[in-house]
Amino acid sequence: MDQVLAAFWAAPPVSRTITALTLVQSVLVYGGVLSGYYVVFWPGRIFKLFPEIWRFVTPFLLTGPKLSFFFDLYFMYHYGSQLETSSSRMSQPGDFFIYLIFVAFSIMLTAGFVLEMPVFISALTMAFIYTYAQENRGKQTMLWFVKMRMEFLPWAMLLVTLVMNGTSGVLLELTGIVAAHLYDFLTRIYPTFGGGRNYITTPIAVRRFFARHTPNLGNRGYGTAFNASQQPQQSSQSSSRGWTSSIQNPWSGRGAGRRLGGD
């Protein structure tokens, strides 16, 4: 138990927190302890006299059933921790947290209010995958036994979702890509090529809070943090190789939002 706790606290703080919350909530729902009625996105239950404000968060923390339970948790932690620890554009304490808030809010607007989907975890993990793929363009990875360039990975996964779950599943995951691309546009493309300003910055208070847990420069239990000016060259090999090449039907339980419990 001590080793498990040590490994947990050594993990990236934001990624370990959202993964742990997803694990707990999903176990409670699929174990019959908590009804899915209370965690899905439902605007009518949010905007009322006594708002159920937790529904702004809980739809991101519910996995699919069966095998999707394990794959959703894996994708969330793996790609989230990769961005939190090795992203060249999220190298300062708290940057990944602000990224998470931005893409989650964007997904809520599109998947929740426009598409009326009740669960968002597949869109959130797809946002992580898209951002990670963009930051590792040109590197090689494998999906099942197909070798491809990293930037094609999100689109290959969308194709799998189309085959397994149809267009509704694809539309949901596309909202994650849209959210991640919007973040990329506002923080990198527009400021770099359009001469604009990056307005998505990490507030000082947030930076200071996370600095107490993730020093700006130094060894951490889950890696080494660097200043943006000191960011080392990324390895030429994708860290996702192996897992993606061995996954057998990881998206079988994913797809459009699933309303759980009673109405």
Whether 242 is covered by a domain: the verdict is no
Whether 261 is covered by a domain: the verdict is no
- Tell me the pLDDT band of 223, cut-offs 50, 70 and 90: very low
Whether 46 is covered by a domain: the verdict is yes
Q: Are 130 and 176 in contact (CB under 8 A)?
A: yes
Q: Could you list the residue range(s) of the whole structural domain that residue 16 is in?
A: 2-228
CA 251 vs CA 16, 21, 71, 157: distances in Å: 22, 21, 8, 8
Q: Are 94 and 42 in contact (CB under 8 A)?
A: no
Whether 239 is covered by a domain: the verdict is no
Paired tokens of 90: 């999220």
Whether 223 is covered by a domain: the verdict is yes
- Number of structural domains (the chain) is 1
104-125 average pLDDT score = 97
Whether 154 is covered by a domain: the verdict is yes
User: Per residue in 241-254, pLDDT tens?
Assistant: 333 333 333 343 44
CATH code of the domain in which 44 resides: 1.20.1540.10
46-63 average pLDDT score = 96
Whether 247 is covered by a domain: the verdict is no
pTM exceeds 0.85 for this model: no
Q: What share of the chain is helix, strand, coil (3-state, %, to 5)?
A: 60, 5, 35
User: Per residue in 57-112, pLDDT tens?
Assistant: 999 999 999 888 999 999 999 999 999 998 888 888 899 999 999 999 999 999 99
Whether 136 is covered by a domain: the verdict is yes
